[in-house]
């Protein structure tokens, strides 16, 4: 929770932003309709698919170099949240900055929390739930409900858009099931838990020592013995692919990546933010196609 002094500072920054008139976020889509703010461009893109031209979506995190765990909001972000009629966060500790942002803006607008919607629980829950298709469907349906409540006159449009989006996600489920039917049980390695929901849907088995992927995710070094165990996955041909987070780099990540390439283990990069000039379903289709090819 922000202190009184911090709130005063935010007030001054917000006033300056308003006075500047026109400091709109470069991550906004649309210019009219229901104002929606999402913590990341992944959820923002999904909201745009549901809302279509009836909404204006602002995504806070769009830069591949930005770390949601350490992101510091600015006055533009506060202004956007203060005007929003629907807020969407990932949750699970992934984007805690968004809760502070909502508090700073004094917003009482409805907030959709993807991890809570997912039903995945526990202190060590994998927060990367946008790789979990059942969660994506559930969040899409709650976005529809929230938009219909905020804008009843366009409820039929939101329902139709949701049906279209869920059908497209259904095609992703079918593609994952096809990978499972052909390559289920194949071992793979990861650098971080980012793609685990997707790999599980494909029936693939993560053989990475948990201590290694947890260390990489927390930006720390895994013990030498754990690194050795991880490297043995490639030298011993225990895995058919390395599915790694291309947006995280470090000496140990590079060591694993080099080991995979040196031992002719297929490498599949994945991301946490939406690639440029694409949408959620097209992005996941590309991920699935790359994984299917790597483990075939």
pLDDT digits (tens, 9 = 90+) for 63-116: 877 778 778 889 999 999 999 999 999 999 999 999 999 999 999 999 999 999
Same fold, 4-172 and 184-295: yes
The verdict on domain 4-172 having CATH code 3.40.50.970 is no
Residue 115 CA to residue 118 CA, distance in Å, equals 5
Q: pLDDT grade, residue 189 (50/70/90)? A: very high
The mean pLDDT of the chain is: 90
Query: How many Å apart are CA 65 and CA 285, to the nearest integer?
Result: 23
pTM > 0.75: yes
User: Is the per-residue pLDDT at 13 higher than 90?
Assistant: no
Helix/strand/coil percent split, the chain, to 5? 55, 15, 30
Structure tokens at 183: 């390559």
pLDDT of the residue at 21: 31
254-263 confidence digits (pLDDT tens): 999 999 999 9
Q: Classify residue 7 by burial, with Cβ atoms within 10 Å: 0-12, 13-18, 19+.
A: middle
Q: Is the pLDDT of residue 175 over 70?
A: yes
- Lowest average pLDDT, out of 21-35, 165-179, 272-286, goes to 21-35
Contact predicate 29/44, CB 8 Å: yes
What pLDDT, on a 0 to 100 scale, did the predictor assign at position 31? 61
Please compute the mean of the pLDDT values over residues 40-64 and round it to a whole number. Answer: 95
Closest by alpha carbon to 199, among 218, 215, 183, 211?
Answer: 183
Closest by Cα among 134, 136, 142 to 159: 142
pLDDT (0 to 100) of residue 163:
98
Compare 143 and 19 and report the one with higher pLDDT: 143
CA angle 193, 194, 198 (to 5 degrees): 100
Strands 55-61 and 28-29: antiparallel
pLDDT of amino acid 29: 66
The CATH H-level superfamily of 184-295 is: Nitrogenase molybdenum iron protein domain (3.40.50.1980)
| Residue-range domain boundaries for the chain | 4-172, 184-295
Minimum mean pLDDT range among 54-58, 80-84, 113-117, 273-277 = 273-277
Q: Residue 19: how many CB atoms within 10 A of its CB? A: 8
Instruction: Give the residue-averaged pLDDT of 242-269.
Output: 95
């Amino acid at each position: 929770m922000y202190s009184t002094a911090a709130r005063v500072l935010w007030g001054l920054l917000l006033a300056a932003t308003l006075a500047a008139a026109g400091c709109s976020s470069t991550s906004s889509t649309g210019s009219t309709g229901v104002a929606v703010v999402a913590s990341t461009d992944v959820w923002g893109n999904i909201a745009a698919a549901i809302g279509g031209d009836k909404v204006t979506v602002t995504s806070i995190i769009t830069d591949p170099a930005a770390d949601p765990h350490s992101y510091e909001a600015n006055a533009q972000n506060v202004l956007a949240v203060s005007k929003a009629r629907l807020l969407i966060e990932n949750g699970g500790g992934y984007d805690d900055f968004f809760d502070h942002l909502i508090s700073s803006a004094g917003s009482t607008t409805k907030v959709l929390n993807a991890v809570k919607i997912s039903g995945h629980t526990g202190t060590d829950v994998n927060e990367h739930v946008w790789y979990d298709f059942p969660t994506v469907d559930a969040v899409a349906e709650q976005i529809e409900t929230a938009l219909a409540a905020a804008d009843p006159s366009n409820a039929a449009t939101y329902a139709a858009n949701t049906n279209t989006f869920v059908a497209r996600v259904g095609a992703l489920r079918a593609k994952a099931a096809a990978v499972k039917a052909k390559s289920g049980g194949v071992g793979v390695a990861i650098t971080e838990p980012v793609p685990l929901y997707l790999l599980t849907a494909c029936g693939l088995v993560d053989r990475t020592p948990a201590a290694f992927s947890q260390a990489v995710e927390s930006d720390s070094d895994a013990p030498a013995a754990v690194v050795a165990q991880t490297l043995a996955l490639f030298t011993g041909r225990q895995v058919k692919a390395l599915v790694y987070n291309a947006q995280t780099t470090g000496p140990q990540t590079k060591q694993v990546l080099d080991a995979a390439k040196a031992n002719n283990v297929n490498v599949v990069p994945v991301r946490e933010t939406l690639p440029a000039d694409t949408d959620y379903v097209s992005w996941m289709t590309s991920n699935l196609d790359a994984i299917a090819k790597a483990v075939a």
